[in-house]
Structure formats: C-alpha cells, structure tokens
Amino acid sequence: MFSSKLNIQQLTSLMLKSGIDTVVVCPGNRNAALVHNFHAASMTCYEVTDERSAGFFALGLIEANGGKPVAVCCTSGSAVLNLAPSVSEAFYRPLPLMVITADRPEMWIGQMDGQTMDQTNVFSGFVNKSVSLPEPSNEDERWYCNRLINEALVSLRLTRGPVHVNVRISEPMFDFSSRELPDERLVSVYGDSCGDVRLSDRLTDVIKTSSRPMILVGQMLPETASTCVRALKKLAERGVLILAETLSNVHVDDELRQLVRYDFDDVLSHGEPARPDLLITFGGHVVSKRIKAYLRKETIKCHIHVDKNSNVVDTYMSLTDKVMSEPSDFLDLLCDLLPFDGLDDYRKSWSATHVKEDMPVLSRLFGELSDEWTLHLANSSTVRKVQRIFNNKNTVYCNRGINGIEGSVSSAVGFWAGTKKPTLLIVGDLSFFYDQNALWNNYVRAKIHDAPLRILIINNGGGEIFYNFPSLRESPCFDRCVVASHDTSAKGIAEECGCIYYKATDILEFERCFYDFMNVKSKDVRIFEVFSKCY
C-alpha cells in the first residue's frame, strides 16, 4: 500500500519510470510518507541518520554504480541545510544526485511553527534545477506537479549534476491506503547538446503509424526559419498538416505558403476539426489562444517538442517527448519516418474557408507591401489582427518573449538603425505612447541612412484587447482603469522628434495619404496615425 498523498505518488511513479531506484533515507516525521513509498515500491533504501553523512554516502553510491543517479531524502527544517556540503560537491563534480526534501505547507513558513523554514531554492547556486511540489487538488495542479517532477528528471539526465525536489506535505501524513501508483506521464528526452539524436523504438513506431500528424510552428528568426523550409515543403506536399503563425517566418517561400495553414485561428473559430494523434512543435511563442485551448482540451497520444534547450516546455499539457535538435534536422528525420498514406484527408479537414474579418487599412497595406520591407509588430491586438490577415513574404519580428507592450517601437527603431533596411512598424496607441522615447534619439532625428522607417499607429483610444472579455466590461472602472481610455494624438510627439506626420479619421483620408506615407524612396521617418473609423 502507498501513501495517499498524490504528489508523493507522482514522484515515486516517475522516479521508477526514469530508473531511479536507489535512495539514501534519513529518519524524520515529515518525510516518513516518502520513505514509506520508496520501501513499498521496492526501491533499494539505505538508512543513514546524519544528513551530512547521508549526502556523501549517496555520492559514493553514484560512483559505485557507474554514475547512475541516486536520491537522498530528509525531513524538513535544518536537516535540509546539512545536505549542502554534499550538494555542492555533486555540483562541481558533477554527479547526478537527486535531493528530496519534505516540507511544511507554505502557509506556515515564518509563523514560528516547528521545523519550518523557507526550503525553496535553499541550494541556489549548487543545483541545476530546483522545484517545489504542491499538493494537487485538481487536474491542473496535478499536471503542474507532474511537469515540475519531469523538469527535475530531465535536468538530472542532461546536466548530470544535482537537482532539488522539495515536497510539501500537510497533515494527515500517514494514510497508506492507496493500492497502486498512478501511471504518470514521463517526458522522454532524445539527443544532447552535440545534436546526436537517436529515437527509441517506441517513438519511431508512434511516428510511423500516425494517421493524423500535426506540425505547429511558433515564432522563429528568419535565419532559423529558412533552414526548415525545404523539409516543411516536402512534408506538406506529401499531405502533412502544418500550422504556422505569421511570426514563424516560414511564409517567405511562395510554394510553401500555398501548402501551410496560416488561418487556423479562423478555422477553429467555426468549429473543431479532427484532433491530431501526433503533435510536433518547434519555434517559440504561439500567439493564438484558440489553438492552445483546442490542444489542451484532451490529452494527445504523442507530443514531441523540438529545440536545443534543456527546459521542459509543456504549453499544450500533453508533452511526451523532447528532442534536443535543430528543428531542420528533426524535420529531415521525420521525412523518412512518416507514412504519408492517407494524410491528405486529415489536412483537408482543416481546409474549410471562412469569411475573414474586414480590416480595410491592413488589407490595403498588405495588398501593396513589397517584399523589401521588414515588418515589426507590437503586441496585443496588433499582432493578433495581422495574424488573421497577413499573407505576404515579408520577414516579421515581434517581442513575444514575455508578450509585453513595452519596447515595441524601440526594437523596430534599433533594427532599422542597425540594418539599413526599409522598416515598417504596426503598433497600437498604448504601445506607442508607452514607448515614445524610442523616437527621442539622434538616430531618428538625424535620419542616419537612406532606408525608410515607417510607423503605422492604430489609435482606438485605449487597450482594444480588453474588449474581448465581456464580463470585464461590467466593472465600473473598465474604461478608465482597465482600457486606459484617452484622446491623445501622436502628432506632437512626431513633430517634436522630426518625423513627418499623417492622420486619418476615415478610409478616404487613409487612401489620400497612403502612397506618400509608404514612399520607399524617401529617407524621412514617417508616422501615420489612423483612428478607429478606418478599420
């Protein structure tokens, strides 16, 4: 029988699945349920009373077992601190030591409760990964706990140095009524920093037998995207469903652009097509909330995420396999493994055409935008609007690392100053005013080179994105404090910084100014502010 504590069950299950079956255990009350589970799971347990000695005892076991990971487990409080010497030794060797510490509920930290201190990050600087497991009370918290354990296990394998797993345990602590451990999802890892990737027979079979594979491409720099185009084109031509956002920059190839679905947000707004049995993701952030909600709705049989980092990124809550590889290398491998027979039917299920949102300003802009322009997008409504209408070959940049509105103008100006390429920024009013000092420098005022810089401001008098939350509108402070409504114009800022300014309050005014604004031969910095009636 096992402990009824779900976080302890999850940890025990995943340790067994990852081959960690040797634990040095120290006596104590708070960690007793952990020790019970290790015994009940038939792990090899060594009992050592002194925690300082126990840690080094575990290092000796690692050496004796040819470098196989070993865990050491202790109770809460100052007992944890006694492991520090052995943890630092493991860090600088490095040796794969898994430090498991029992902890009190967070609410009692600093409340003069016995053996209670802040144990999170207590080994900071001497472990490659530190996680603190909650006590899950719902499925989301269970997924979170599973993800944290997998993060520690992946780090333990890839870095070979120590990791710290802190386990919060509340009373009652000694209910040992569970007959079996849960079948927890273990994230398997393939490859290393050298790019040597060998897939398991299990994963190879899953790929070869997939009938509904989906490739989802997030944000990438154009240099990285260009290395993926050849393989993506080959996969798409043979029927594989490929979804890509504007920020992926894989749209620069004419032939590929006809085969990839960039409008999947519109497809999902009219229903739910058949779900994938194999999801392959690479690249950075994905803007679409619809695709995230759709993929998180049910567990996917197999989700492979490809990147060179050691982090566990489980955006869609179904990650089963992480491949440490350049996306282009893995795509080449995929071309040799996927069956391709019958795949086109699945892609067609995503091909329904729908009436697109009417956005006359952006439609007009992208209808005339030549390939020589580099496009920069601000966050929030701007990037979402462009995502739904963009179908050009232009390279696209956007600050999607943390998705904040600050710095959008500065990044575009910096790019323009450093590349001497025609640069167009599309930005909302709040983002522009927040970052207006981007124009307050000698590079803009002096017009340092002949390449044009154009800034199109969509001014709707506040944060348009917040109108997408109907219940939020009921707040009496919605307009003033949430939307940040205003009647500010960019005209004074533009003129003070030496920029040519245009303004349009309707589509006719926009048409009259458009060609002059986009004149690529002029090296002036030009700002075009269009107000809400234009779109």
Q: Rounded CA gap, 378 and 429, in Å?
A: 10
What is the percentage of the chain residues whose pLDDT exceeds 90?
65
Cβ pair 149, 8 in contact under 8 A: no
CA–CA distance from 261 to each of 47, 240, 286, 353 (Å)? 58, 11, 14, 11
Torsions phi, psi of 124, nearest 5? -50, 130
More confident residue, 492 or 345: 492
* Strand pairing class (213-217; 374-377): unpaired
Return the bridge partners of 423, or none: 374, 453
| pLDDT at residue 213, rounded to an integer | 95
Res. 355: pLDDT tops 60: no
DSSP letter for each residue of 33-66:
HHHHHHHHTT-EEEE-S-HHHHHHHHHHHHHHTT
Q: What is the pLDDT of residues 161-193, one digit of tens each?
A: 999 999 999 888 788 888 899 999 999 999 875
| pLDDT at residue 478, rounded to an integer | 59
- CA pseudo-torsion sign 79, 80, 83, 85: negative
Most confident of 109-113, 187-191, 198-202, 373-377: 373-377
SS3 content of the chain, % helix, strand, coil (to 5): 40, 15, 40
Q: Rounded CA gap, 389 and 254, in Å?
A: 17
Q: Rounded CA gap, 13 and 21, in Å?
A: 11
Task: Give me 159's structure tokens.
Answer: 């870095």
Q: Which long-range contacts (CB under 8 A, 24 or more apart) does 179-184 make?
A: 179/1, 179/2, 180/2, 181/2, 181/9, 181/12, 181/13, 181/16, 181/41, 182/6, 182/9, 182/10, 182/13, 183/13, 184/10, 184/13, 184/14, 184/17, 184/146, 184/149
Q: Rounded CA gap, 447 and 416, in Å?
A: 11
Looking at residue 164, what DSSP letter applies?
A: E
Element (H, E) at 512: helix 507-517
Q: Rounded CA gap, 33 and 344, in Å?
A: 52
Q: What is the pLDDT of residues 380-438, one digit of tens each?
A: 889 988 988 888 899 999 999 888 888 999 999 999 999 888 999 999 988 999 999 99
Cβ pair 355, 374 in contact under 8 A: no
Res. 472: pLDDT tops 70: no
Helix 32-40 vs helix 6-17: angle between axes, to the nearest 10 degrees? 40
SS3 string, 361-400, reads: HHHHHHHHCCCCCEEEECCCHHHHHHHHHCCCCCCEEECC
Nearest partner of 300 among 201, 214, 238, 240, judged by Cα? 214
Summarize the confidence of residues 353-367 as an average pLDDT. 78
Count Cβ atoms below 10 Å from residue 214 Cβ, excluding itself.
27
Nearest partner of 55 among 29, 37, 73, judged by Cα? 73
pTM across the whole model: 0.89
Alpha helices in 93-200 (DSSP H): 139-159
Summarize the confidence of residues 206-231 as an average pLDDT. 95
- Strand, helix or coil at 336? helix
Task: Give me 220's structure tokens.
Answer: 């990438």
Please, what is the average pLDDT of the chain? Answer: 90
Cβ pair 382, 426 in contact under 8 A: yes
More confident residue, 361 or 164: 164
Summarize the confidence of residues 288-314 as an average pLDDT. 92
Work out the pLDDT band at 505, boundaries 50, 70, 90.
very high
